[in-house]
């Protein structure tokens, strides 16, 4: 026991003094900001009925706003939607049957440059939050009304009433604490805190995938009298632990005592063991049968069982997909057959049970087959 304490004390003494100023959180996933290749941004304020929602425009990033939580008892948040509509001087009526849509085109020449990383992190309470580590540099003098927004959207949201919306805005944060003078670089961290995410119905520990982020700058040049417009935008999938955690990215929280260091190391070890145990499932359309999808399965470090398959309406299975059991590290392919090929996306959920880690759910998302004439359900 004395030898263990002695070794830990040496570890503390060996830590560089500079680490004392580091932020005391653990990084679970990190990615560079992805400059958007889209034509621009589409903001869609959904009607209560959701029956007239247009198809997503592939050329634009979509923010879908839900303004009716109080009126309908929905578990989706509406506070940011009300704030955004007010800031854009929009009036969205409860009785309207069609969505209100605003589009914003990206400029041909950028007036501002933004670089940085997006991270999923946690502090001592282990509640996960999102940190945007940003460097903002205006290329020209900008208006004092320039605002940077960090936004979290859910790729496919379902509330407790089984309403469904794609690209639903869960959380938005405006930032104005940066220089608007040309060639002045401001470095700062913009946070989507854990308590705000929880209030918006976001649990990044339980649901690590299915989220996207946007960093968007709205404003004008300093001498312009035009209405605020979209100046710059980054958009991508929120990084998830099983996708890109590496030994250099996942660093344990900085703790100032030997006992705390031992506890932190134990926690990080358990997280890595769990992530290695999670199996990898990938789906692709069969090249031989238009009604068939091939699911490729690779077990992690622990055996697991597939206990159930479910598919969203209007898709239906033809027969029952097999309930498989795989050993640690085993790879296998299985075919899932559907009654007919439809023109909508295919959303397939696979319930699994991992030895020592319990029940999990994997979500597979396939776009319509490009080489088959789809059939609409009757």
Dist. CA 283–CA 292, nearest whole Å: 10
> pTM of the predicted model, to two decimals?
0.59
> What's the whole-number mean pLDDT along residues 106-115?
93
Q: What is the pLDDT of residue 223?
A: 87
Query: 325 CB contacts (<8 Å, ≥6 apart)?
Result: 303, 304, 305, 306
Whether 187 and 212 have beta carbons less than 8 Å apart is answered as: no
**Domains in the chain: ranges and CATH:** 29-244 (2.60.40.10), 279-366 (2.60.40.10)
Whether 40 and 103 have beta carbons less than 8 Å apart is answered as: yes
Query: 16 CB contacts (<8 Å, ≥6 apart)?
Result: none
Mean pLDDT estimate for the chain: 85
- In this structure, of 139-153, 189-203, 334-348, the range with the lowest mean pLDDT score is 334-348
165 against 375, higher pLDDT: 165
> What's the whole-number mean pLDDT along residues 73-86?
94
Whether 98 and 53 have beta carbons less than 8 Å apart is answered as: no
Going by C-alpha positions, the residue among 127, 152, 118 that lies closest to residue 25 is 127
> What's the whole-number mean pLDDT along residues 237-245?
74
14 sits in which H/E element:
helix 2-14
Long-range pairs, 222-225, Cβ under 8 A, ≥24: 222/140, 222/141, 222/142, 222/143, 222/180, 223/141, 224/143
> What's the whole-number mean pLDDT along residues 161-180?
94
Q: How confident is the model at residue 221 (pLDDT cuts 50, 70, 90)?
A: very high
Does position 14 have pLDDT exceeding 70, yes or no?
no
Query: 324 CB contacts (<8 Å, ≥6 apart)?
Result: 297, 305, 306, 332, 334
Going by C-alpha positions, the residue among 51, 83, 52 that lies closest to residue 65 is 83
């Amino acid at each position: 026991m004395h030898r263990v304490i002695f070794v830990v004390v040496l570890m503390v003494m060996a830590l560089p003094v500079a680490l004392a100023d580091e932020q005391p959180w653990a990084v679970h996933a990190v990615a560079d900001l992805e400059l958007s290749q889209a034509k621009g941004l589409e903001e869609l304020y959904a009607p209560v009925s959701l029956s007239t929602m247009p198809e997503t425009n592939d050329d634009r990033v979509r923010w879908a706003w839900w303004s009716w939580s109080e009126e309908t008892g929905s578990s989706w948040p509406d506070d940011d939607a009300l704030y955004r509509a007010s800031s854009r001087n929009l009036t969205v009526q409860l009785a309207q049957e069609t969505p209100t849509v605003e589009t914003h085109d990206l400029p041909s020449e950028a007036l501002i440059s933004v670089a940085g990383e997006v991270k999923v992190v946690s502090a001592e309470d282990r509640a996960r939050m999102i940190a945007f580590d940003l460097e903002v540099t205006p290329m020209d003098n900008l208006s004092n009304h320039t605002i940077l927004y960090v936004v979290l959207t859910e790729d496919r949201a379902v509330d407790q009433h089984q309403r469904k919306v794609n690209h639903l805005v869960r959380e938005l944060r405006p930032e104005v604490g940066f220089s608007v003078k040309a060639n002045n670089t401001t470095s700062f961290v913009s946070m989507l805190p854990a308590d705000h995410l929880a209030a918006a119905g976001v649990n990044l520990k339980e649901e690590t995938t299915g989220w996207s982020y946007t960093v968007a700058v709205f404003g004008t040049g300093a001498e312009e009298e035009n209405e605020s417009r979209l100046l710059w935008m980054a958009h991508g999938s929120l990084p998830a632990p099983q996708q890109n955690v590496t030994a250099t990215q996942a660093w344990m929280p900085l703790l100032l005592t030997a006992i705390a260091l031992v506890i932190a190391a134990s926690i990080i070890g358990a997280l890595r063991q769990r992530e290695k145990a999670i199996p990898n499932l990938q789906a692709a359309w069969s090249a031989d049968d238009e009604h068939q999808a091939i699911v490729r399965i690779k077990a992690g470090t622990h055996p697991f069982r597939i206990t159930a398959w479910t598919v969203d309406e209007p898709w239906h299975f033809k027969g029952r997909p097999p309930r498989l059991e795989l050993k640690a590290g085993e790879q296998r392919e299985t075919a899932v057959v559907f009654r007919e090929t439809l023109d909508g996306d295919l959303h397939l959920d696979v319930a699994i049970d991992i030895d020592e880690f319990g029940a999990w759910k994997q979500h597979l998302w396939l776009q319509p087959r490009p080489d088959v004439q789809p059939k609409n359900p009757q």
